[in-house]
Amino acid sequence: MNTSITERYQQLIDEITEHNRRYYLDSHPIISDQEYDQLFAELKHIEEEHPRIISENSPTQSLVGQIAEGFEKVARQQPLLSLENSYDAGDLRSFDDRVKKVLLKHDITSRNYTVEPKFDGLSVELVYEDWELVQGITRGDGLVGEDVTQNVKTIRSLLPLTPPSSYVAHYPRSLHVRGEVMLAKSKLQALNQEREKAGLEPFSNTRNAASGSLKLLDSREVAKRGLSCFVYELLSSTFGTDSWDLKEEVTDLADFGLPTFKLTDQLFSSIEEVIAFCLNPETKKKLEQQDFDFDGLVVKVVGNAEENGASTSSLHDILGHTNHHPRWAIAYKFPAQQASTQILRVDFQVGRSWIITPVANLRPVQLSGAEISRASLHNFDFVKEKDIKLHDWVWVQRSGEVIPYITGVIKERRTGEEDLISAPLFCPSCQWPIVQEEMHYYCRNPHCPAQIKEKVLHFVSRNCLDISGIGESITEILMSQKLLQGIEDLYRLERPEVQIYLKKLPGFGEKKIFEILQGLEKSKTQPLWRILNGIGIPNIGTKLAKDLAQRLEEKKIKNLNEMIFWLTNEEFLLDIEGIGEKIQTSFSDFFANEEVKKMLEGLVRAGMKFEARSSVWNGDSLSEGSLPETTKASRYFSITWTFPISREKIKEALEKAGFQWVATPHKAVEFVLVGHDAGKKETIARELGLKIYDDWDEILRVFPDLKALELPLRASTTHGKENVQQQSLF
């Protein structure tokens, strides 16, 4: 055999074993799941091609490198296996083919599937005797784990059990179940804030935080972390003289009072039904709305007794398992939300607010179903705080399908070739000298092309004037032809002679020009809040723009001069929630700027209406007329946690009906919508004695038009129950 193959084989064993130790014992991995899976797949491929080379130390044969020091070792009755991974429909069909082939040898022609969430936490075995929790054991290497009983007992939901009366006759002397220890996303934020204050490195995700917390040697410290646990598998049970099969009788471990999370009750009769469910974006969306992290789904073979009499346990026995994973289950993994990659280069961008922002160009990596090659480094204080250097390997996160964010540096992968990231001396766009003010660096050239481009793109964006047809490429063409040197120049495109010229440029056909002209005309009568959001006032966003527009409506402003008068009035501004002296001063400076005056006057000449009109929405959904008398007088409302409808849609509907949303409840708030398993905000609301709607049926009764917004896939959680799922390197 080629010596290079045997050397590579041993190298892979050593690398994977080391990564197992970092992941399972240190709770501090230095490569992503995707990179790990690639190494593991390469190891399996070598073993499939050269079976004689297989070593008993191979991670495919046992879960090596996963036993911690500091805890008593426990040999378990049966191994806790990992799961084989799948990433697409083809992988799931291959799994189904393998299952079908084995079952046909036993004359079994049909089977069903269940789909469960895959928890992103730490796997444990829990042992109950006489309904009392007596032992908690980590997975370890599958056969031997660490005794973390005292730490597990800090999780209140695990003890004591409350068996239903129907099971008392078959009193189990002992019960072994498998679960996942988790840390809520909301608790990770608070935990990391405490760690940063103490000078400790924050946890990069909830899985690492849960694992690190459970393996603390002081159970009093574990209790402070507020861990949760969800049980998903009955491993074994022991009865005195009664030998009935509890596995076949128990369909829901929640019957024993154990904390569980059920994603769906659906039984799937074919792998195509499973694939449709797994690939349905609503499935992933539902899990993302929970306060816990999931990294996929678990597909399990179950019996179809009506057709062939085979029980689930008998099917599992027939299908069996390898030393690594069961053959009757497979994990379908969602596209990664966190990955490791390397900073190849750092560019400096100029924003519409003159700020120079460092942007990392990354080694391309797949994240949440998209290829990520760039991530903002925000400002130079962020670079310093995270100790980010050029050529560093970093963790990149894209939770909730949002902009990628660098969460930390993998310092263990540094080679000594890394360089400091320093601010440039001159603007990368116009070459003006850069000036530093507090944490930011600025280009103060009012004619900087990069700034103009960003201001235009912001002005035409969906949350501002919503002018279709003008994107980045069109903006660049217009600027290159000297047709666009400021926001107000957009309306020059309405001139006939300019339109004739546009037809000679690439990308400007009759249809494109008509689309742009239509958008420009529509923009002149857009609500005032969109104009306020679009013209580039510092420190203003959608929420504050809407608040300002409503207050200006009360003043019945009719033109630009009246608007400027009130937006530079100190008393008027400081009376609005969210505006302090710093923001008030920035408003005054903005409207005193000569370039801003020129831009606003240009918009007026173009026909822009700086007029505050009624903000009450009379659309097809929620309208003021449908609101109950008790809530019509409400000005402020707050909303917390999850609902069958997304919070953004609920907020938008109520805001369009004339209400104002605030993030944190205060005395002026008239009502608060409280969803499933709410926390701090609900406590604040109750302490303030605010009106609370915490029942979804009641919310629909009080706000009946919300029914039209309900999602097809409703959350199956009920108040007081938590839902979750698992991740591992395997």
| Residues recognised as catalytic | 118
| Cβ neighbours of residue 497 closer than 8 Å, sequence gap 6 or more | none
Please say whether the beta carbons of 154 and 91 come within 8 A.
no
Strand 691-693 relative to strand 669-674, pairing: parallel
Instruction: State how beta strands 85-86 and 329-333 pair.
Output: parallel
Number of H helices, E strands in the chain: 27, 21
Token code pair at residue 417:
């070739």
* Side-by-side strand order, sheet with 691-693: 660-661, 636-640, 669-674, 691-693
How far apart CA 625 and CA 635 sit, in angstroms, is 15
Residue closest to 465 by CA, chosen among 527, 373, 509, 516: 527
Question: How far apart, in whole angstroms, are the C-alpha atoms of residue 459 and residue 241?
Answer: 77
DSSP 228: E
709 CB neighbour count, 10 Å cutoff: 16
Q: What angle do CA 272, 274, 280 make, to 5 degrees?
A: 100
> How many other C-beta atoms lie within 10 A of the C-beta of residue 575?
10
How many Cβ atoms are within 10 Å of 289's Cβ, its own excluded? 20
Alpha-carbon distance 691 to 283, whole Å?
A: 33
The per-residue DSSP string of 317-352 comes to HHH-B-SS-BTTEEEEEPPPSEEEEEEEEEEEEE-T
Alpha helix ranges (H) inside 203-270:
206-214, 219-225, 246-249
Contacts of residue 693, Cβ cutoff 8 Å, sequence gap at least 6: 671, 672, 673, 674, 699, 702
One-letter amino acid of 457:
L
Mention every residue, 6+ apart, whose C-beta is less than 8 A from residue 406: 360, 375, 377, 386, 388, 394, 395, 396, 397
| Burial (CB count within 10 angstroms: exposed 0-12, middle 13-18, buried 19+), residue 692 | middle
Give CA–CA dist 114/195, Å, rounded: 40
247: amino acid identity, one letter? K
